[in-house]
Amino acid sequence: MSKNTTKPCVKCGSEERDVKGNCAACARTYGRDWRKKNKERVRRYNRARYVAEQTARQLKQRQYYRTNRNKVRAAAKKVRAAAKKVREEYPERGRAQGLRRYGMSLEEYQTKLAAQGSVCAICHRPERRRHQNGRIKALAVDHNHEKNQLRDLLCSDCNQGIGKFFDNPALLRAAADYLERHE
pLDDT tens across the length of the chain (183 residues): 444 456 778 778 777 777 777 888 888 999 999 999 999 999 999 999 999 899 899 999 999 999 999 999 999 999 999 999 998 888 888 888 888 888 899 899 999 999 999 999 999 999 999 988 898 999 999 998 888 889 999 999 999 999 999 999 999 999 999 999 998
Q: What is the pLDDT of residue 142?
A: 93
Q: What is the pLDDT of residue 1?
A: 40
Where do the structural domains in the chain lie, given as residue ranges?
103-181
Q: Give the fold, CATH level 3, of 103-181.
A: His-Me finger endonuclease fold (3.40.1800)
pTM above 0.85, yes or no: no
Q: What is the pLDDT of residue 49?
A: 93
Q: Which of 118, 150, 163, 123 is nearest to 137 (CA)?
A: 118
Q: What is the pLDDT of residue 14?
A: 79
Return the sign of the alpha-carbon dihedral for residues 146, 149, 151, 157.
positive
- Please report which residue ranges of 68-134 form alpha helices under DSSP H: 69-89, 93-100, 106-115
What's the rounded Cα separation, in Å, for the pair 142 and 57?
A: 42
Q: What are phi and psi of 130, to 5 degrees?
A: -120, 155
What's the rounded Cα separation, in Å, for the pair 142 and 27?
A: 55
Q: Which residues pair with 122 in a beta bridge?
A: none
Contact 26, 37 (CB under 8 A): no
